[in-house]
Amino acid sequence: MDFKIDNVEQFNNINEAHFHQPEKAIDKNSPHIVICPQCGGESYRFNEYCYNGKCTFGIKQYFDYQEWQEKEQRRKALLQKKSQRLVIFTLMGFVTCLLGLYLGSLHPVGYFVFFVAGYLALVFNKAGQHVEKEIKEIGTEEYK
């Protein structure tokens, strides 16, 4: 048979042939039952298509995308907590650093505190920036 990509009727025929397979009854005890957002019928979570009558809604892709989005939101929430902690650590390091500077005027060990705390504050700050960048990227990433 000649196959023309711009022949819509040909495509329709192919779809009908494909989706006129005998419908399998839904097993009500299956943990993978989902409601098709297009036709409202029950289908299986991992079905490529809905299969309710002529409904050809892409079930698997739709729910894969939903799950991916939820996963990304959870990841974002975790990163935001991490970011908050790093801001607190950075501030604590900075305050300790200043305290070390003051102590250094009383005893040389204060300068040691100044350098160590100052270094840690920089490390925490850098890590915080990295986390912030990761958070920003979550909204812009494409679903694969």
Point out which residues bind Zn ion (CB under 5 A). 36, 38-39, 50, 52, 55, 57
Neighbouring residues of 82: CB distance < 8 A, sequence distance ≥ 6 = 131
CB closer to Zn ion, 36 vs 131? 36
Q: For the CB of residue 62, give the shortest distance to Zn ion in the complex, in Å.
A: 10
CA atoms within 13 A on the CB side of 109: 0
* Beta carbon of residue 55, minimum distance to Zn ion (angstroms, whole number): 3
CB of 28 to Zn ion, least distance (A): 17
Q: Report the residue number, 38 or 125, with the smaller CB distance to Zn ion.
A: 38
Contact yes or no for 29/18 (Cβ under 8 A): no
Contacts of 97 (CB under 8 A, 6+ apart): 113, 114, 117, 118, 121
- Residue 63 or 124: the one with the smaller Cβ distance to Zn ion is 63
